[in-house]
């Protein structure tokens, strides 16, 4: 068994290692915005101050870097977890790719053993698929929002480093099929996309972007919006969207149809984004000006539009999130959140972790009309 010691890739800036190149593109910085979010509560006993305090005008972005590592090995994904891989090179493993929970899962499933910050492993016992040449770790996630914030931004720095996307292999484990066309929209040749699931991989040279090793959902950099302006040009014709979650398993507005006539009178198109591929969603929302709907992955489409002027989320009080307010900030759009208390568990389907809601038609429309009047001034 060989010992592998934890190495924070960010420390390569001060302590370089042979066979590893480190590029710091941007230090950790404070992002700020003048966007003033507005809030409304459906039920009188909702304490708005407790929910709105996460919507800060400033937030800190992590540093943006790229590591390029020779002769490395990546394990399969940690069992029972949505992300985390073992990335091994020389006598080290990438601290940035593993959580403590992931280490426990790897140990429990006999991939390797962990003690404090040391991993004990015999990597020679595992059969590996070797990828020749220069590759990019490009985990695309099953969730569109993660893909847009933590995968695509890597392309900016890859191009800054002088690489031609045609010369690179993009390693995309667990690749959603509809992500391939989206990647192609941004210049990645389909034949350069490699999707291998649940296998050990070895590489001649691997480009490791920082975006895949920690979350940017609530602290996105400008790379998140900037990269979307590089892709194939789009020309969507719909200006106002209501996003439905009728096909979701939780956090649905179960009486949302009572809004539809009023929304259509106001020029809104009713859309369920899941009915479209990721590339089609990008085209559909490319010229949107106003987007409203329940918090969820469909709202991620707001970032596709440079013309966005207003984003309104219908927010469950049991699922309060700031991520799409950050989208509005980076797109310089007005933002509003309309809070609703979820139905009690007796009225929700089994295994529904976050409840469905009923919306008050007149109260919501009053808030919507008020928000639209704000952007017209």
C-alpha–C-alpha distance, residues 305 and 155, integer Å: 19
pLDDT at position 214? 58
pLDDT at position 135? 98
Domain boundary among 204, 224, 244: 224
- Please check whether residues 83 and 203 belong to one and the same domain: yes
- Please check whether residues 52 and 87 belong to one and the same domain: no
- Please check whether residues 216 and 137 belong to one and the same domain: yes
pLDDT at position 83? 82
Whose structure tokens read 């949107």?
288
pLDDT at position 212? 65
- Please check whether residues 185 and 321 belong to one and the same domain: no
C-alpha–C-alpha distance, residues 185 and 301, integer Å: 16
Ranges of beta strands (E only) in 210-324 are 240-243, 269-271, 290-294, 310-316
- Please check whether residues 322 and 181 belong to one and the same domain: no
pLDDT at position 229? 80
Burial of 239 (0-12, 13-18, 19+ CB in 10 A): middle
Per-residue pLDDT tens, the chain, 377 aa: give them. 899 999 999 999 899 999 999 999 999 999 999 999 999 999 999 999 999 999 999 999 989 999 999 999 999 999 988 889 999 999 999 998 898 999 999 999 999 999 888 999 999 999 999 999 999 999 988 889 999 998 999 999 999 999 999 999 999 999 999 999 999 999 999 999 999 999 999 999 999 998 766 556 789 999 999 998 888 899 999 999 999 999 888 899 999 999 999 999 999 999 999 999 999 999 999 999 999 999 999 999 999 999 999 999 999 999 999 999 999 999 999 999 999 999 877 777 777 778 899 999 999 999 999 999 988 75
- Please check whether residues 102 and 52 belong to one and the same domain: no
- Please check whether residues 316 and 298 belong to one and the same domain: yes
- Please check whether residues 78 and 212 belong to one and the same domain: yes
- Please check whether residues 44 and 87 belong to one and the same domain: no
- Please check whether residues 275 and 204 belong to one and the same domain: no
pLDDT at position 116? 85
Domains: count for the chain: 2
Picking from 309, 318, 301, 304, the residue whose alpha carbon sits closest to that of residue 251 is: 318
pLDDT at position 215? 59
- Please check whether residues 238 and 323 belong to one and the same domain: yes
Q: What domain range includes position 296? A: 34-60+233-376
Domain boundary among 199, 224, 249: 224
Give 291-318 as a DSSP string.
EEEESSGGGGGGGG-TT--EEEEEEETT
- Please check whether residues 67 and 192 belong to one and the same domain: yes
pLDDT at position 213? 61
């Amino acid at each position: 068994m060989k010992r592998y010691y934890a190495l924070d890739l960010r420390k390569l800036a001060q302590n370089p290692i042979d066979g590893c190149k480190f590029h710091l593109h941007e230090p950790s910085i404070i992002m700020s915005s003048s966007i003033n979010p507005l809030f409304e509560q459906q039920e009188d006993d909702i304490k708005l101050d407790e929910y709105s305090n996460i919507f800060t005008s400033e937030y800190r972005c992590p540093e943006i870097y790229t590591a390029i590592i020779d002769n490395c090995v990546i394990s399969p994904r940690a069992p029972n977890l949505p992300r985390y891989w073992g990335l091994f090179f020389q006598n080290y493993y990438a601290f940035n790719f593993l959580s403590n929970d992931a280490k426990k899962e790897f140990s429990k499933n006999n991939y390797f053993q962990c003690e404090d910050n040391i991993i004990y492993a015999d990597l020679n016992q595992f059969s590996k698929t070797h990828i020749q040449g220069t590759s990019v770790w490009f985990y695309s996630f099953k969730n569109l929002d993660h893909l847009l914030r933590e995968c695509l931004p890597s392309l900016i720095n890859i191009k800054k480093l002088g690489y031609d996307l045609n010369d690179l292999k993009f390693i995309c484990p667990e690749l959603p099929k509809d992500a391939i066309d989206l990647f192609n929209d941004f210049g990645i040749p389909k034949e350069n996309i490699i999707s291998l699931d649940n296998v050990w991989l070895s590489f001649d040279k691997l480009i490791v972007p920082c975006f895949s090793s920690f979350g940017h959902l609530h602290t996105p950099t400008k790379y998140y919006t900037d990269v979307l302006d590089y892709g194939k040009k789009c020309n969507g014709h719909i200006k106002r969207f209501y996003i439905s979650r009728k096909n979701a398993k939780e956090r649905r507005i179960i009486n949302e149809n009572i809004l539809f006539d009023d929304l259509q009178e106001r020029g809104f198109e009713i859309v369920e984004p899941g009915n479209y591929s990721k590339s089609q969603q990008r085209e559909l929302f490319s010229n949107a000006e106003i987007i409203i709907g329940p918090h969820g992955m469909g709202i991620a489409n707001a970032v596709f539009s440079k013309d966005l002027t207003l984003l309104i989320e219908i927010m469950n009080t049991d699922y309060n999130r700031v991520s799409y307010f950050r989208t509005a900030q980076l797109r310089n759009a007005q933002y509003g959140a309309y809070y609703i208390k979820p139905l009690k568990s007796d009225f929700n389907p089994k295994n529904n972790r976050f409840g469905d809601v009923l919306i008050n038609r007149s109260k919501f429309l009053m808030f919507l009309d008020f928000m639209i009047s704000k952007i017209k001034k």
